[in-house]
Structure 1
Amino acid sequence: MKNFLKSMYQSSKIRADSLPASIPDDKLGSPVYKFELNTFDIIAEIKKTSPAEGRLTSSELDCLKQAHEYIHGGAAAISVLTEPTKFDGHIKHLNEVAIGTRKSSIPIMRKDFLVDVRQIIESRQYGASGVLLISDFLNRKELNNLLDCAFDHSMFVLLESFGKEDLKKSLSLLENAKYSKRLETQQLLFGINSRDLRTLDVNLQRFSSLAREIPESILKVAESGIKSRENIMQIRSDGYDLALIGSTFMRTDQPKVILQDFLKIGRKQK
């Protein structure tokens, strides 16, 4: 799987090239919703399949039902995985969740391997309030263009790193005031993925080693491999403000209960 990230880039580029160059503002989707954060919060993810773990649901996934489980469990936001070739996702899942949860005003984030500003605009068109961007995945020009487009559309960005070099690249963005000011408005969050996206290997020690590189004032999100109360306690002690959790919730028939339990544990500890 050493070329996983490269293959995702190529696949995403093909999808992006099929999109229109622009979309009229009146064709954009749901309003952009902001975070309402507590001392610790969870972004709960909807996904059918993981290339590292296989099929995550035993039956046909009801995305909207899963989303309401997350809302009732207290999620701060919902991540919807839309990558079709390896994760069995689809942009229509994003739209379904965005429309079906509109009354709750919960932010919906598109998670994918985004490479082009047209995909940011597409995300808004289908109702996303935010997007995930992968620092290692993009050159500096691509990253700047995607960030600018997201912020121009009032969206938030979860900027993901899984190594020291890509984290360094992410942090260097803050030398520019147009990006650093997004920290105050909670439009820019820094994520650390315990999974190396080049090999798909998970190393939970990555959470602690990379958290030390991030200033305390930045909202930090722990991603991947979080399965237990002990994992929650560990990331809290490492200084994380949020966790992005998908597979653990997708594999259980009680996602609301586990989500509530994780929030309770996380909010007790710092």
Structure 2
Amino acid sequence: MSEPDFLATMAARSRERADAARARRPQSELLASIRDLDPAKRLHRSSEGFDLIAEMKLRSPAVGQLRRGDRDNLEQRVMSYAEAGAAAVSVLTEPSRFDGTLEHLEKAALALRSHVVPTMRKDFLVDSYQVLEARAAGAGGVLLILRMLPRDVLASLFDTALEHGLFILLEAFDEYDIDTAVRLIEPRIGLKSTATSGSLVLLGVNCRDLVSLQVVPGHLEALAPKLPHWLPRVAESGLTTADDARRLAAAGYDLALVGSALMSGDHPRDLAAEMLAAGRSAKRSAACS
């Protein structure tokens, strides 16, 4: 399956899910349920310069099934992420390739209700209705894939997320996507206010080739200098060890999104803590040099 086919297929399936969900529950009803909620949790970054977005997913298209029977242990796993110091927990809600559901997001948010750590909906979002679904399920943020969406649709999802107090992780694959992100943000938030608004908008780089579904060595380092300094920079895909976190923090990334390595291991809290410590050590070394 080629890259355009993969994203187009995922977008089409996501559109079908959005249409079916809207038919079951009108948007007016969804908005009414959101009005009764507490404000969305914010993503708080550490003063130590490097943070972790730890991911909950049962399957990966590149790897296959990651955890058997972990549906019953979802709450325990996301709690271990929070206890390790994760800044946010990403939850896959895409069903056909990741075995995800909105119920997983709801359970994760409920498990973290006594923590400051927010959840983030990770999916192939194509409709602002799905952003509202994320908010209703207790999410504090959403991921938007820059190259998958027409700019008007991307702007609609972005604006809906901002309106409802959600943080946004914009996912890029190349310099064109990075330019799209800047063009999206500048007229809405402005560059100066973005630089001082904490973690409202993050810009991530995915180093996975969507043709082969393999990680491209060196891709994160190659794009790091191209990323705007005024946006928190997130390294996505392919991080498996503390050394990876150290290397990418040294390259300039402020956060790492880690999923498969945490899900496939039996000690996710230990690995998350080790990655955080390594990334923060690299930031301290860079500050002293």
Could you say whether these structures have the same fold, taking a TM-score greater than 0.5 normalized by the shorter chain as the test? Answer: yes
1:100 aligns with 2:111: yes
Q: Answer whether contact 1:173 1:179 (CA < 8 A) is retained.
A: no
Give the match for residue 286 of structure 2. Answer: none
State the alpha-carbon separation in 1 of the partners of residues 100 and 170 from structure 2.
20
Give the match for residue 169 of structure 1. Answer: 180
Per-residue deviation, residues 95-136 of structure 1 (Å, max 9, x unmatched) = 011112111121110000000000000110111110000000
Which structure shows the higher helix fraction? 2
Deviation at 1:183, TM superposition (A): 4.5
How many residues align? The count is 270
Mapping of residues 1-270 of structure 1, within 5 Å:
1-2=1-2, 3-18=5-20, 19=22, 20-23=26-29, 25-28=31-34, 29=37, 31-38=39-46, 39-61=49-71, 62-178=73-189, 180=191, 181-185=193-197, 186-270=199-283
1:241 partner letter? D
Moved more, 74-83 or 17-26: 17-26
Per-residue deviation, residues 35-55 of structure 1 (Å, max 9, x unmatched) = 221211000000000011001
1:234 partner letter? R
Residues 201 and 128 of structure 1, relative CA distance in 2, 3 Å threshold? same
State the alpha-carbon separation in 1 of the partners of residues 235 and 190 from structure 2.
21
State the alpha-carbon separation in 2 of the partners of residues 202 and 171 from structure 1.
25
The CA RMSD over aligned residues, in Å, is 1.5
Residue ranges of structure 2 left out of the alignment (5+ in a row): 284-289
Secondary structure of 2:168 counterpart: strand
Q: Answer whether contact 1:132 1:159 (CA < 8 A) is retained.
A: yes
State the alpha-carbon separation in 2 of the partners of residues 22 and 201 from structure 1.
41
Q: Answer whether contact 1:81 1:110 (CA < 8 A) is retained.
A: yes
State the alpha-carbon separation in 2 of the partners of residues 230 and 195 from structure 1.
19
Residues 106 and 30 of structure 1, relative CA distance in 2, 3 Å threshold? farther
Moved more, 125-134 or 180-189: 180-189
State the alpha-carbon separation in 2 of the partners of residues 131 and 203 from structure 1.
25
Deviation at 1:21, TM superposition (A): 3.0
Secondary structure of 1:103 counterpart: coil
Deviation at 1:206, TM superposition (A): 1.3
Per-residue deviation, residues 59-92 of structure 1 (Å, max 9, x unmatched) = 3332111111101111110000000011000000
State the alpha-carbon separation in 2 of the partners of residues 228 and 24 from structure 1.
40
Deviation at 1:198, TM superposition (A): 4.7
Residues 16 and 92 of structure 1, relative CA distance in 2, 3 Å threshold? same
Q: Answer whether contact 1:13 1:116 (CA < 8 A) is retained.
A: yes
Residues 166 and 215 of structure 1, relative CA distance in 2, 3 Å threshold? closer
Deviation at 1:174, TM superposition (A): 3.5
